[in-house]
Structure 1
Amino acid sequence: MTRSLIICLVLLCWGVLAYADNASYSHQYQVEIEAPSPLKTLLENHLDIIKWRTNPRMSPSEWKRLSAEAPKQIKELLATEGYFSPEVSVQSTQNQLENLTTLSVNPGTPTVVNSVNITFSGDITQPHRDLPSIEQLREEWPLPVGTQFQQAAWTAAKRSLVTKLLVNRYPNAVITDTKASIDIQQHTASLELTVDSGNTVHFGELEIEGLERYPESIIHNLNPIKPNEVYSQSKLLTFQTRLQESGYFRTVEVTADSKAALTDQQQAPIKIKVNENQSIKVSTGAGFSTNTGARTQLTVEHLNVFDRNWRLTSTLRLEQKLQSISGTIRLPTTASGYRDSANIAATRTEIEGQTTTLTQAGVKRAWGSLKREQYVGANLLAEHVNLDSADSSDTYAATLGYGITLRRTDNNLNPTRGYLFNAQFNGAPLASLSNGTFLQSYLKTQAYYPITKSTQLIARAELGMVSGKNSAPATFLFRAGGDQSVRGYGYQSLGVTEGDAIVGARYLTTGSIEIIQWLTPEWGAAIFTDFGNAANSIKELKPVYGYGLGARWKSPVGPIGADIAYGQATDDYRLHFNIGVIF
C-alpha cells in the first residue's frame, strides 16, 4: 500500500513538473515583425507563426518549420494588398532561454491600376434613358486608374458593379469573365471585366400567400408598383414596409421571381407571403417621463371592426400630470393611397397651475410616403380650463387643419445627415361654430450634419403663432420647456403668468444646438445649448437659455438620451430623458 502511494506521488510530481516546464517553455517563443504599421497589423492577424507561438505543444523543430514558412506566407498576404515584390528576411535566435524570430519586411512599391476595360452585353447596350447606363457604371467604377490595387478592393468593386444592375432593371445580371493582369516590373495592374446585364425585367402579377381573415384588396391598395413597371428592388422594399406598417400582419415577405422572367416574356411575378395578426390584441405598458411623470397604459386593438377591415385602437393612459381615454378607427388604405381615420378622445392635464379638460372628435385624411407626408382634418372640441388663483373658462371650436412633414435623412431611426421639416396650420374659420375665429401656424425643423466621422451636429428650430382675437382654446396656444423644447426648465413652464399659473401664449420660438462625440459606434457624449420662450407679443418674446451635458445610445428603436441641463433663468438643474426622433 505504501509502495503504491509512493509511486502515485512520484508520477503526480513528475506530471506537475512536466506541465510547468511545458507552460514556461511555451512562453519562450517570441516573434518580432518589422514592417509599416498597417501591414504589420495584417501580418500579426494572419501569420501561422503568430497564431501558434503560445501553443503548449510547440517544439523547437516545429518553431523552425514555421519560421521557414513565414516568408512565403508574408508574400502571399502582401500580394492581397498590392505588393508583389516584397523583400523578407528572417533572423532566428534559439537557445535554452530564448526562441526569437525576427521578420523584417520591405513591402516595396505598391501596384496601381493603369487601365480598366469593362465590356457589356445584354439589354443595357440598347439605347434608353433609364439608369443604370453603361456610362454611369463606368464613371462610378470604384477602382479607377491611379488607385492602389488591393484584392479586397477588386472584389468589392466587382460586387458593387453587378449590384447596381441587380437592384434596377436587370435582376439576372452576371459577370461572365474577369482578369487582373499584374506587371511586377512596372508595378501596374490592368483590369478587365465582361458583364452580361441580361434582359430588362418588368414586374408581373401579385401572387399572395397567407391571407385568411382579410381580403386581397388590403394588399393591392398598398402596392406602389404599377402594372408592367420596370424591376426595382427599392420598390419591393417600399411595398414590404407599407405592408409591415399597416398593422394587419405579423410578418411580411415581398420578393420578385426574376428567374421566371427568363421564360415569361420578361415578367417577374411579385410573391407576397404574410402571417396575419390576431383580430383582437390587448397590451399593457408602464413607463416614466421627465415631462409628465410615471405612466401606465392599456391598449386594445381590433383589426376587423364590423367585418370591414377597419382598425380600432382604444387606449387608456394614466400619468401623474396627464390622463386620457381615446379611440381611433383607421380605414384600409384606398387604391389612390389615401389613409382615412376618425377619432374621439377625452384628456385631462394638470401642468404649472393650469388644469385643462378637453373633449374632441375629428376626422383625418393622410397621404404620401414617409419622405413627404401630408394630411387634412376637421375637429370639434370643447375645453374647460381651471387656473390656480384665477377664473375658469369654457371654450369650443370647430377647426380645419393641414400639415406636411418632409424627411430627408440617411437613416429614419438613427439619422446622421439630412433634415426633418414639419408645418401645421389649424384654424376656426366660422365664428358661428366657435367662440371666435383664429389661425394657429406652427413650424419645426431639425438638421443633422456629421462634422467628422465621430462628431455630429444637431440643430433644431421651432416657431409658432396664433392670429386672431383672444378666442383660441388653450390647446392651440403655446408653452415651452421640457425634454423636446428648452431643457433645464420644467415641462411647459415657460409661458404667460396668470394668477398662480403658467398659461399658453400666442407666440413661440425655441431652438437648440447640440454636438455629439461618438466614443463607440453605439455610445456617445453630448453637449448642448437650448433657448426659447413663449409670449403674447413678439416684443415680449425674450428667450431664456439652458445648457447641459448628456449621454447618447443608438438603440434598435432609435436614439436614447439622458441629459443634465442647467436653466440660466431659474438657476436650477434638471434631469431629462428622451427616446427616438420626435417628429
Structure 2
Amino acid sequence: MADWPARGCLIRRSLLAGWLLVAPAGAHAAPNLQLTGLEEVDLITNVGLSVPRVTFSCNASTAQIRRYVDAAARAAEEALQAHGYFNARIEGRIDVRDDCRDPALHVEKGPVTTVRSVEIDLADSIESIESVRSFVEENRPEVGAPLDQAAYDALRDGLLTRVQRLGYLDARFSRHEIRVDPAEQAADIALALDAGSRYRFGELDIEQTVLNPELARKMAGVERGAPYTSRNLLSINQNLSGTEYFDSVSVRPDLDRREDLDVPVDVVARRSPRTSWELRGGYATDVGPRVGASVKRRYVNKRGHRWAARTQLSAIEQRLDTSYSIPRSADPLRERYDIYARITRHDNNSIVTTEAASGVQWVRETDRWTRSLFTEYLLDRTRYGDNPAESNGFAIVGGRLGYDGLDDPLFPTRGVVFDVSLQGAAEPVLSAANFVRARGLAGGYYPLGRWIFAGRAEAGMISTDDFDSIPRTLRFFTGGDRSVRGYDYESLSPRDEEGTRTGGKYLLAGSLEAMYPVVGDDWYLAGFVDTGNAYTDPEADLKTGAGVGVRWRSPVGMVRLDVAQPLDGSGGLPRLHLGLGAAF
C-alpha cells in the first residue's frame, strides 16, 4: 500500500484551452502534443491543461522532444490520479508528419480507484458546532464513490478555514492523507484536526474623534471576552458604519500581538460630515406633486445625541416635524430615546385638520425587529364639511412592534413584513374621550419561477364611547394608491348627513398581486385585486377594485403605474394610480 500525499492539480472545464495544447496533426506548422486513448471530456481537458506547453520548434533534437514527452507523461499521470485513476498506462512516442515531429501520448486510463473508507476525527468542541458539522456532512466523500482529489482538497481546506474563522486560530491537522492501494483500486481517507483553544476578543482600540471612547466601544457591539470570530469582526465594521457617525471604518485584528488567547483589535473610524441636507420631490396620484426637505445633525455632542428636522408639502398635506435622539447608555447600538414634535395640516374630502403633537418614545431595533413605546400630547382641530371646527386634546400612550424581512427594500421579491400598534387615552388624564385604537398590517412577497406573487392584509379598530371626539388622524380611511386601487385617496369611509366622509371605527383591507418580468429584470407587468373599506357598522360592504399595471426597478425604488377598475357596480371609470416604492 502506498502513501499519496495531497498534490494540487488545476482542473478546468475549458475545451478551448485543452484543444490549444492537444491539437490534431497538421493543425499548425509547429509541434503539437498529440493525445489519444481518452474519451471523457473532463479527463482530456484536465490532462491538456496539466501538461507543459510545447516551446520547441520542428527543428528540435530528438533528446529535447524525448525530455518533453517524459515530462508530459508525468503531468498526465498526476492529472489522471486527481480523478482517481492510479493504474493508468501512458505510452510516449514521437509522431512524424510532413517536415515536423510531434510529441505524442497514448493513454489507457485503467480502472478508477474508489473510496474504501473515510475517517474524520474532530474534537468535541468543534464537532458540536452546527456550521462545522453540516459542512462535513455535505462534503464527506462517499464510500464506493470514485476518488476525487479536488473534493478532498475542498473538504480539508474548507474545514480548516471554517474552524479558524470560529476563533480556533491555532487549529492544525495532525493527520491528513489519502492512502491508495493500486492493486485493489481502493483509497482510504483520514483527517484528524487538532483545534486547540478558542480565542477571544481582547482590547478594542477605536481611533475616532466623534464619541466618548466608552460609547464608541459599546457602539461596536462586541465586548471584550466575546468569542473571536470572523462574523464578529464583520459585525464591528457594520455596527459602527451603520450608526452614521462615521464615513468609513477599518477593522484590523492584531494577530501578532495575541496572547493568553486574547486578540487585540484596532479600529480606525473617520467621522462623517456633522450636518447633512436633503431636498426631494415626487408625484403620486393620491396627493399630487410633493416636495420635501430635511436637515440632520448626525452628532450634537460626544454622547452621541442627534437632531433632525423634516418638512413635506403637497396640495393635501403640509407637515413639519423635528426630533432629538439620545442613545441609551446601557445599549446605545440598539436602543434610543426620542423627543419629538410635529405640526400637520391636512385638507381632503371637505375635511380640514390642523394638529400639533409632542412626546417622547423609547425605540429598540434588533436585526429586523423594531419595538417602541411612546407617550405624547395631541392637540387636534378639525372641521368636517360646513360644520364648525372642533378642538380636542389627548394624552396618548402606545406601543408598536414591527418586523421587516424583505430581501430588498427598494424592489422586494421575497420575504414578509408586519406591523402592529396599540394606543389609547383616558378622559380623566387630560383627554377629550376614552379610546383604544389597534391596527395591524401583514404582507409578503413570494417568487415562483419567474413570477412574483405579493399579498397584503390590514385591519384596524377603535373602541370608544365618544367617536365624535376622536381626531381625524386616528380614524380610518382607505382607498388610493397604497390601499384599494380604483378609488380616490381616502374616499372609502362612512359619511355624515351632509355627505362628508368622516372616517370609520373599523378598517379591513387586502390585496393580491402577481408580477411577471417582460424586459430583463427591470420591467414587470402586474395584475392585482384589492378590496377593503373603512366603516362604522361592522357589516358594511367591502369595495373591490382590479386592474393591471407596470413595475419598473428604478435606481430609487419600485415605480408603479396601475390602471384599476372599481367593481362596485357603480359604473365608475377606471382610475390611474402612480406611486413610488413597494405597496407596504
Q: Give the TM-score normalised by structure 2.
A: 0.73
Q: CA separation of 1:384/1:60 partners in 2, compared to 1, >3 Å: closer, same or farther?
A: farther
> 1:364, CA displacement in angstroms?
0.7
Q: Determine the structure 2 residue equivalent to 1:397.
A: 394
- Alpha-carbon distance between aligned partners in 1 of 2:324 and 2:380, rounded to the nearest angstrom: 23
Q: CA separation of 1:508/1:365 partners in 2, compared to 1, >3 Å: closer, same or farther?
A: same
Q: Determine the structure 2 residue equivalent to 1:233.
A: 230
- Comparing 196-205 with 493-502, which one deviates more in the overlay? 493-502
Q: Determine the structure 1 residue equivalent to 2:197.
A: 199
Q: CA separation of 1:463/1:390 partners in 2, compared to 1, >3 Å: closer, same or farther?
A: same
- Unpaired runs of at least 5, structure 2: 1-11, 48-78, 89-108
2:508 aligned with 1:542, yes or no?
no
Q: Determine the structure 1 residue equivalent to 2:462.
A: 466
Q: CA separation of 1:307/1:174 partners in 2, compared to 1, >3 Å: closer, same or farther?
A: closer
- Show the 5 A alignment for 1:395-474: 395-408=392-405, 416-452=413-449, 454-469=450-465, 470=467, 471-474=469-472
CA RMSD of aligned residues (A): 4.2
- Alpha-carbon distance between aligned partners in 2 of 1:175 and 1:413, rounded to the nearest angstrom: 46
Q: Determine the structure 2 residue equivalent to 1:496.
A: 494
- Show the 5 A alignment for 1:40-439: 46-48=17-19, 61-62=27-28, 68=34, 75-77=43-45, 115-120=117-122, 125-127=123-125, 131-132=129-130, 135-141=133-139, 157=155, 160-170=158-168, 173=171, 192-209=190-207, 211-258=208-255, 260-261=257-258, 264-305=259-300, 309-337=304-332, 338-408=335-405, 416-439=413-436
Q: Determine the structure 1 residue equivalent to 2:507.
A: 508
Q: CA separation of 1:112/1:130 partners in 2, compared to 1, >3 Å: closer, same or farther?
A: closer
- Alpha-carbon distance between aligned partners in 2 of 1:110 and 1:412, rounded to the nearest angstrom: 52
Aligned with 2:538: secondary structure? Answer: coil
Amino acid at match of 1:480: T
Q: Do the aligned partners of 1:132 and 1:168 also contact (CA within 8 Å) in 2?
A: no
- Comparing 425-434 with 156-165, which one deviates more in the overlay? 156-165
Q: CA separation of 1:318/1:208 partners in 2, compared to 1, >3 Å: closer, same or farther?
A: same
Q: CA separation of 1:157/1:388 partners in 2, compared to 1, >3 Å: closer, same or farther?
A: farther
> 1:433, CA displacement in angstroms?
1.1
Q: CA separation of 1:141/1:128 partners in 2, compared to 1, >3 Å: closer, same or farther?
A: closer
Amino acid at match of 1:466: I
Q: CA separation of 1:138/1:324 partners in 2, compared to 1, >3 Å: closer, same or farther?
A: same
Q: CA separation of 1:387/1:421 partners in 2, compared to 1, >3 Å: closer, same or farther?
A: same
> 1:116, CA displacement in angstroms?
3.9
- Alpha-carbon distance between aligned partners in 2 of 1:129 and 1:61, rounded to the nearest angstrom: 56
- Alpha-carbon distance between aligned partners in 2 of 1:185 and 1:295, rounded to the nearest angstrom: 82
- Alpha-carbon distance between aligned partners in 2 of 1:533 and 1:208, rounded to the nearest angstrom: 55
- Comparing 220-229 with 132-141, which one deviates more in the overlay? 132-141
> 1:298, CA displacement in angstroms?
2.2
> 1:43, CA displacement in angstroms?
5.2
Q: Do the aligned partners of 2:285 and 2:576 also contact (CA within 8 Å) in 1?
A: no
Q: Determine the structure 2 residue equivalent to 1:19.
A: none
Q: How many residues align?
A: 509
- Unpaired runs of at least 5, structure 1: 1-40, 54-58, 87-106
Q: Deviation string for 1:303-346 (max 9, x for gaps)? A: 34367542110122222332222111011342234310111111
Q: Give the TM-score normalised by structure 1.
A: 0.73
- Alpha-carbon distance between aligned partners in 1 of 2:443 and 2:343, rounded to the nearest angstrom: 31
- Alpha-carbon distance between aligned partners in 1 of 2:463 and 2:490, rounded to the nearest angstrom: 21
Q: Deviation string for 1:34-81 (max 9, x for gaps)? A: xxxxxxx9555655459999xxxxx97428967956988863436899
Amino acid at match of 1:478: F
- Comparing 306-315 with 187-196, which one deviates more in the overlay? 187-196
